[in-house]
Amino acid sequence: MDSINRTAKIAGLIYLMMTPLGFFGMIYVPSILIVSGDAIATVNNIMANELLFRLSIMIALIIQICHILIVLLLYKILKPVNRNHAVLMVIFMLVAIPIAMLNEVNNFAVLLLSNGAGCLPVFTADQLQALVPLFLDFHEYGINIAAIFWGLWLFPMGYLVFKSGYIPKFLGVLLMIGCFGYLIDFVLFSLFPSVDVTIGMFTWWGEILFPLWLLIKGVNVKQWEKHTLESA
């Protein structure tokens, strides 16, 4: 009984920690360093705040490591409901992780191009720096591809929560809604790039309330044990 609630609280804590980390690395840092349509200003900002830019890369990688821990902990918590759906949840997240981690190569390329030293010597420093926005765009595209699976893993997870009986159903509904927020954003980004709307801003509540519930309340142990016995 103590073990499963300890697992739930650890999963909730790690999941919640990713919110401020993600905000810092994916929203705050780009917002102060990247100047849309101005490659020179962007390069100057990155060079003046190189440590901050490198920190955002490190945070992005740490978040993916956290994702591995979270999905394994949640698998333990939700597997008694339906093992096949729990496995699907794990697969979707484990597909997203390498995409997101490899995508950070684009940000390392930005650093190399910004420094210009020893990188593609046939080009001038100005020419190399002019390529920086291209790799920043590649990074944004990579995030949106990873977001497909960041959305997809929420649906089986939300379904398992909804069917569990040991975690409130409304949290499962919010998680499934969150899935469609990611997917709609990807479609808009891919097909209608001029549309400046982010649906995920309105559908992310499940990813806050669910881990918060796990951290504070845990799970209904009797119901969890019941499902565990039935699935044995």
* Domain ranges for the chain: 2-231
pTM, entire model = 0.90
pLDDT tens digits, residue range 109-138?
999 888 875 566 666 777 777 889 999 999
Say how far apart CA 147 and CA 93 lie, in whole Å.
10
Q: What is the pLDDT of residue 76?
A: 95
For residue 20, the SS3 value is helix
13-35 mean pLDDT: 92
